[in-house]
Amino acid sequence: MLTPEYLQHAAEGAEAITEDLHNRIMRKIVKAILTRMERGENYMLTAADKWRIEALQEAGYLLEDIQKEIAKATNQQLSEIKSACVDAGIQTLKWDDAVYKAAGLVPTPLLLSPTLMRVLERDYKATAGTWRNFTRTTAEEAQRLFINELDSAYHRVLSGGESYGAVVADLIEKVSEEGLTVKYPTGYRQSLESATMTIVRTGIAQAACDVSETRMEEMDWDIILVSAHVGARTGDGGQNPGNHLWWQGRFYSRTGKNKKYPNFYEVTGYGTGEGLGGWNCRHSFGSGDGKNNPFDAKNISYADNRKVEEAQKRQRLLERRIRNSKRQIQTLQYAIDNASDDETKSKLQSRTEQKANLLSKQNKAYRKFCEDNNLRPYDERLKIAHWDRKQAARAAADARRYQKRKKEKADD
């Protein structure tokens, strides 16, 4: 059995790899836009067909570059996912095997069990395959973003109502705000990082659960103990698998033969998306003895759990907003450093200062919310790839410039 804390951090390595990939792809898009746009206004005012053909050619080159970046990241990611699945298997059996040994049984170590290693291999491949599937669309999404925004910029310059530098700055800002997302058949969108976290955390949890379940079958063990944590999702509040608070922290019968305990599969919904081990679930299970239960779920009231659940949802939302602002600032800073047109640089700088001021407000709001709701601030969940002290100091200076300029305007 894995702890909720373990599962909360289990996908961080995979998420960091995806953050780095996202950053590198955004830089390539910005570089391609600047290369195309900064050839000058006269160059843009060519026949629309010629502009479109050349833009599509450059989009093709961009696609090739991004596909190479994805290939590099995939090699890193597959290694990370495999390592995470094996570690999860080892950690989950530490609990389970202690119960078996206390009962006088002799379980085979994970790495010496062909059956359990096949289970891990299957779950690793499934998780890696899901990650590969969504990254296949990432390059095409980046190409689409590039072409659509160039088309928009072209028509705005032709209209003659705006300065060239303002159009380019708007284009870069919009690209930074959109970023790259994963679109699901339902229409729901997630950032690359959030999608990775969901996929990998769910995959790791599933691997651990499958290892525990297979071990129980090997040992002919019936009693299961499910983990518990404050802030568990409550779904519609009913007695069903979607209400994790209802079924967490209890003993169950794996086979349904022991009538002293509820049927594990029927109550928890294990094997379904909404139930135990499903979408982004931080619950786990392992062998139980029917006596020792460190998860005293009876002390977690519905009201207290609901309050923590809602507070944690809000906390994660604030964290996502901070990470998103940092990514936008990173992209804008990169554009400033690589733009050759003075007006474009100036317009981009103004937008960066505004974003930096927003980030400053978001950081303060996050700290206050955590303090007001007795939540631990998770600095590690505010980090993004390549955001170092130098970038943080630059953003802080930009925020101060924005505030100073705003004050000067107010004093006039």
User: Are 217 and 323 part of one and the same domain?
Assistant: no
Query: Are the CB atoms for 264 and 276 separated by under 8 Å?
Result: no
User: Are 157 and 16 part of one and the same domain?
Assistant: yes
DSSP summary character for residue 251: E
Q: Which helix (H) or strand (E) holds 182?
A: strand 181-183
For the record, the structure tokens of 324 come out as 């998103």
Query: Are the CB atoms for 22 and 193 separated by under 8 Å?
Result: yes
* Residue 275: other Cβ atoms inside 10 A: 22
Q: Which helix (H) or strand (E) holds 149?
A: helix 114-159
User: Are 201 and 310 part of one and the same domain?
Assistant: no
Does 287 fall in a domain? no
**Closest by Cα among 405, 394, 314 to 362:** 314
pLDDT value of position 297:
55
The three-state secondary structure class of 224 is: strand
**Closest by Cα among 281, 312, 310, 304 to 375:** 312
DSSP summary character for residue 197: H
User: Are 66 and 205 part of one and the same domain?
Assistant: yes
Does 265 fall in a domain? no
**Closest by Cα among 154, 141, 144 to 52:** 154
pLDDT value of position 77:
93
User: Are 58 and 188 part of one and the same domain?
Assistant: yes
Q: In what order do the strands lie in the sheet with 285-287?
A: 251-253, 223-226, 285-287
pTM comes to: 0.85
Does 121 fall in a domain? yes
Residue ending a domain, choose from 180, 198, 221: 221
- C-alpha–C-alpha distance, residues 409 and 86, integer Å: 59
Query: Are the CB atoms for 204 and 85 separated by under 8 Å?
Result: yes
AA identity, residue 6: Y
pLDDT value of position 396:
95
Does 278 fall in a domain? no
Question: Any residues with CB less than 8 A from the CB of 86 and at least 6 apart, and which?
Answer: 120
pLDDT value of position 47:
52
pLDDT value of position 32:
86
* Phi, psi angle pair for 335, to nearest 5°: -65, -40
The three-state secondary structure class of 236 is: coil
* Residue 380: other Cβ atoms inside 10 A: 9
Q: What is the dihedral of CA 366, 370, 372, 374, to 10 degrees?
A: 180
Q: Which helix (H) or strand (E) holds 234?
A: none
User: Are 192 and 340 part of one and the same domain?
Assistant: no
Query: Are the CB atoms for 276 and 206 separated by under 8 Å?
Result: no
pLDDT value of position 52:
59
Residue ending a domain, choose from 206, 221, 236: 221
User: Are 336 and 208 part of one and the same domain?
Assistant: no
User: Are 212 and 305 part of one and the same domain?
Assistant: no
Does 269 fall in a domain? no
Does 114 fall in a domain? yes
- C-alpha–C-alpha distance, residues 70 and 159, integer Å: 37
Query: Are the CB atoms for 291 and 302 separated by under 8 Å?
Result: no
Residue ending a domain, choose from 221, 239, 262: 221
Q: How far apart are the first and last CA of the chain?
A: 64
For the record, the structure tokens of 217 come out as 């079958």
AA identity, residue 252: Y
Instruction: Provide the number of structural domains found in the chain.
Output: 2
User: Are 311 and 180 part of one and the same domain?
Assistant: no
- The pairing of strands 189-191 and 285-287 is unpaired
pLDDT tens for residues 309-364?
Answer: 899 999 999 999 999 999 999 999 999 999 988 999 999 999 999 999 999 999 99
The three-state secondary structure class of 275 is: coil
Domain span including residue 327: 301-406
Angle between helices 48-102 and 192-219 (to 10 degrees): 30
pLDDT value of position 252:
97
User: Are 211 and 324 part of one and the same domain?
Assistant: no
What's the residue count for the chain? 412
Mean pLDDT by 10 residues, the chain (412 residues): 88 91 90 76 52 68 87 92 94 95 94 94 93 83 82 75 82 89 81 89 93 95 94 91 94 94 96 90 93 78 85 93 94 93 92 96 97 91 88 94 87 71
